[in-house]
Amino acid sequence: MLRLLLNWLLSAIALMLIANFVPGFHVTGLVPALIAALVIGLLNATLGFILKIVTFPLSIITFGLFLLVINALMLELASRLVSGFYIRSFLPAFIAAIILAILQMLFRDTKQNR
């Protein structure tokens, strides 16, 4: 349970960090970041999972890079559902998906080294 809460908090912090570096990606505070992290997680677990299964052949052809497009689409959908979390267009969402994937990989690596 504690690990789940830690992942949720780290995802929200990652969203706030991304908002400082990517133009067109805005988070107005910690509470919208927490809600957005929760919504993104739920979208990735449901709709994102289905899209990843359907687009599996395309993901193989592109060596997995198409998964970043799906993650960017999930970010854009979450921005439409959560107030206080805004993404202006697809390009900031795509850049944010890349940075978010890198940050989550780093978070996962530091947790495993403990």
Residue 59 resides in a domain: yes
Predicted confidence at residue 33, as pLDDT, reads 95
- pLDDT for 49: 92
pLDDT tens digits, residue range 51-63?
Answer: 999 999 999 999 9
How many domains does one find in the chain? Answer: 1
Specify if 70 maps to a domain.
yes
- CA–CA distance, 66 with 102 (Å, rounded to integer): 15
Parts of the chain with a pLDDT under 70: 110-114
- Domain containing 88 equals 6-109
Close Cβ partners of 44 (under 8 Å, ≥ 6 residues apart) = 71, 74
Q: What is the DSSP letter of 85?
A: E
Give the pLDDT confidence score for residue 92 in this predicted structure. 96
Q: Are 2 and 91 in contact (CB under 8 A)?
A: no
Asked if residue 49 is part of any domain, the answer here is yes
